[in-house]
């Protein structure tokens, strides 16, 4: 194990014999185990609705919601709607805000909440971007990308929605972990992205963007599906 702050080897904590099957997993093994169980068995749920999120990332989201106190959370990619519902419940606790959740179709979507506004269509098309921009007008805005994971589409969405993000708020790009595994890992459950996935798009976006910085502190629980994906607007 490596102490990331001091960049030197660190002694592995001893685990009692017979007690360490899960504790002896590597981070990569844990990630594959989580990906396979969530995707294949749907074991991660929010209020009974299946979600494909890492619960450690969801904890970070509640921290960000409290800190930023957004009027609008834009979510690109709805699927079943669990994450939109989760965000709406966080906004309930804050006593303000709406979730604008975008998806190209609604065949799997099955949630309702007074704070959720659904927008159906191609996330990067001008009519959809313009409609979302109107909903965000004069508001504090956070954007979460969980749409098509192919890097060209992710990059297109990032460039379209980054201008909506308020100063001090975040553009969060999910599932860049798919780029950290070799094709076929987890029985192919990380997907196949010949042109790269979200992490490739993030790095391309950051090459010529000075308005955002990668906030690595939001990865402090180590096990994240969003490596380099917490982008804070600083300019």
pLDDT at site 191? 86
Q: Is the dihedral of CA 113, 55, 220, 200 positive or negative?
A: negative
C-alpha 59/C-alpha 40 separation (Å) is: 23
pLDDT at site 69? 98
Helix (H) or strand (E) holding 145: strand 141-145
Q: What is the pLDDT of residues 38-95, one digit of tens each?
A: 877 889 999 999 999 999 999 999 999 999 999 999 999 999 999 999 999 999 999 9
Q: What is the pTM of this model?
A: 0.92
pLDDT at site 2? 41
Q: Which residues of the chain have pLDDT under 50?
A: 1-2
pLDDT at site 227? 98
Q: Where are the domains of the chain?
A: 27-233
Q: Do 79 and 103 touch, CB atoms closer than 8 A?
A: yes
pLDDT at site 62? 98
The closest of 216, 204, 99, 147 to 232, measured between CA atoms, is 216
- CATH code for residues 27-233: 3.40.50.150
pLDDT at site 1? 40
**How far are the Cα atoms of 20, 21, 39, 111, 140 from residue 17, in angstroms, in the given order?**
7, 9, 31, 45, 52
């Amino acid at each position: 194990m490596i102490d990331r702050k001091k960049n030197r080897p660190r002694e592995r904590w001893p685990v009692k014999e017979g007690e360490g099957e899960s504790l002896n997993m590597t981070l990569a093994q844990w990630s594959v185990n989580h990906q396979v169980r969530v995707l294949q068995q749907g074991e991660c749920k929010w209020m009974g609705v299946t979600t494909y999120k890492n619960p450690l990332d969801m904890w970070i989201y509640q921290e960000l919601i409290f800190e930023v106190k957004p009027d609008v959370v834009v979510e690109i990619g709805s699927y079943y709607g669990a994450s939109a519902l989760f965000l709406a419940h966080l906004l309930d606790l804050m006593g303000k805000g709406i979730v604008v959740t975008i998806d190209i179709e609604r065949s799997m979507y099955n949630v309702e909440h007074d704070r959720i506004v659904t927008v159906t269509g191609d996330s990067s098309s001008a009519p959809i971007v313009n409609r979302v921009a109107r909903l965000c007008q004069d508001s504090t805005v956070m954007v979460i990308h969980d749409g098509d994971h192919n890097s060209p589409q992710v990059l297109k969405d990032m460039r379209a929605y980054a201008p909506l993000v308020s100063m001090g708020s975040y553009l969060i790009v999910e599932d860049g972990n798919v780029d950290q595994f070799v094709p076929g890992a987890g029985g192919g459950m990380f997907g196949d992205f010949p042109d790269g996935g979200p992490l490739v798009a993030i790095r391309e976006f950051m090459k010529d963007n000075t308005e955002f910085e990668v906030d690595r502190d939001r990865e402090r629980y180590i096990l994240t599906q969003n490596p380099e994906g917490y982008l804070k607007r600083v300019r």
